[in-house]
Amino acid sequence: MEELKPIKSALISVYHKEGIDTIARKLHGLGVIMYSTGGTYDFIRSLGLPCTTVESLTTYPSIFGGRVKTLHPAVFGGILFRRDNSTDLAERELHAIPSIDLVIVDLYPFESTVTSGAGHEEIIEKIDIGGISLIRAAAKNYNDVVIVPSTNQYGDLISLLDEKNGYTSIDDRFRFAAEAFNLSSHYDSAIFNYFNQTARIPAFKVSSQKASALRYGENPHQKGVFYGDLEKVFEQHHGKEISYNNLVDLEAAISLIDEFSEPTFAIIKHTNACGLAARPLLLQAWKDALAGDPVSAYGGVVATNRIIDEETAMEMNKLFMEIVIAPGYEKNALEILKSKKNRILLQRKNADFQASQFRSALNGILVQDKDRYTETPESLKVVTNVAPEASQVDDLLFANIAVKHLKSNAIVLAKNKQLLGAGCGMTSRVDALKHAINKAHEFGFDLGGAVMSSDAYFPFADSVEIAYNNGIRAVIQPGGSVRDEDSINFCNLHEMSMVFTGIRHFKH
């Protein structure tokens, strides 16, 4: 038989009062003595329930504007003394310290205060001291004490009070303690990360209080979990549960589509764009994005930066797509796209994304700034005798955005703001180019007058020569090779234009 311990006394000190009325009434019904502070004491008394102030235990009032209320041996002693330790019991008796068997506390809303845009002084005042100390003390002594660290555990506590009439097992108390340390570590991480925006201490701390179990990871034999709040990113209107691979592709799709201001469609397959087009009209953008590779588009993730209208939805519905993500949908458009049972339809929200990215590597974590640099006409350096025409500059910048979001080594061929062919994830730049050319020819594109973009420099002139032989007349690349002059000289001999960006866009 497991040993059950009764809850005879409780300390309640909370910032949010919602739900405390139910708990306080149940505790009173079980004959539990309640201690409380300030506003919580007033709230419990307003319910017509007996309650004792913490000040009557400590003989000290709340001081320093409420910064010090519960930090006293009479409170922490009542939580931390070991009920099976004779020395602790004797000291408790000597100092007349009351026993506290249950601690219900929550923390000042530090994270929400930061995200609200509050000033530094207000943020600092929302760093909880007494509450976090009570949580750690009660959780440490879980052998004897129950800790309820947030409103998220109220339901579990109420069930426990109903089912066991105010008694708890060691397993019950251990589970609440684990929840408490989860919350306290998250809270401290949030505070550290706020300070570290300025301090720049070389430490890595990321914490998420929300987890979504996925069907599996990248493959069925791998477990997968998403830590974060997807409800802040999008609303799901239709379709099956989102998978691990879906989320990876959505990250790629959103990162790419957010680079464009005019109506644009991107079609993503395994994080790489197989279709991309920007047009004045959304319907045409869809048709031209799909034309880039209608074979690979099958089962892809489709992203756009405009509300999808009925006419566009009718065209899109002809293709099997796993996911569509857009800022919105016209009513009829949404109904059309819902015609496929499992198709996932997402509507974006105005979510803020982290400026850094990280991944596990060997026995640690790799962290870097996201590649948020996007070239402009002013940032291009013409290195050939012939300068690109204005329309070519537009295409060069379009192609460079596309290649930036492909796996390296990557080459993009584009014309009139349409992706004609791409080679990505190749071990050689020449192979990436050949693949892009083959893709363009496979779907009937004329490469005459098209442009070429490379995510990194050309070590030799061979890629430029191959491009020229297939109709390419303008090139954008970072430059930086010791043999840049070879490529530049070839362009000059054949009246091609080439611009350097000075920025490499490797993606692994």
Cβ within 8 Å of residue 490, ≥6 positions away = 461, 464, 465, 468, 496
407 tagged catalytic: no
Residue by residue, what is the 3-state secondary structure of 227-278?
Answer: ECCHHHCEEEEECCCCCHHHHHHHHHHHHHHCCCCCCEEEEEECCEEEEEEE
H-assigned helices in 2-146: 20-29, 38-46, 55-58, 73-80, 86-94, 110-115, 120-125, 130-140
CA 327 – CA 329 distance, rounded (Å): 7
415: tokens are: 């014309």
Report helix, strand or coil for 3.
Answer: coil
Residue whose entry in the numeric block shows the structure tokens 């708890």: 168
String of DSSP letters for 179-241: HHHHHHHHHHHHHHHHHHHHH--S------S-EEE-S-SSSTTS--EEES-GGGTEEEEESSP
Output the CA–CA distances (angstroms, integers) from residue 130 to 66, 73, 77, 254, in the order listed: 10, 13, 14, 42
Considering the candidates 140, 186, 407, 435, report the single residue annotated as catalytic.
Answer: 140
H-assigned helices in 344-445: 390-404, 429-442
Output the CA angle 344-345-347, nearest 5 degrees: 140
333, 309 contact by CB (below 8 A) = yes
The closest alpha carbon to 299, from 254, 249, 252, belongs to 249
Considering the candidates 17, 205, 237, 270, report the single residue annotated as catalytic.
Answer: 270
Report helix, strand or coil for 46.
Answer: helix
CA 211 – CA 348 distance, rounded (Å): 20
140 tagged catalytic: yes
* Residues assigned a catalytic role: 140, 270
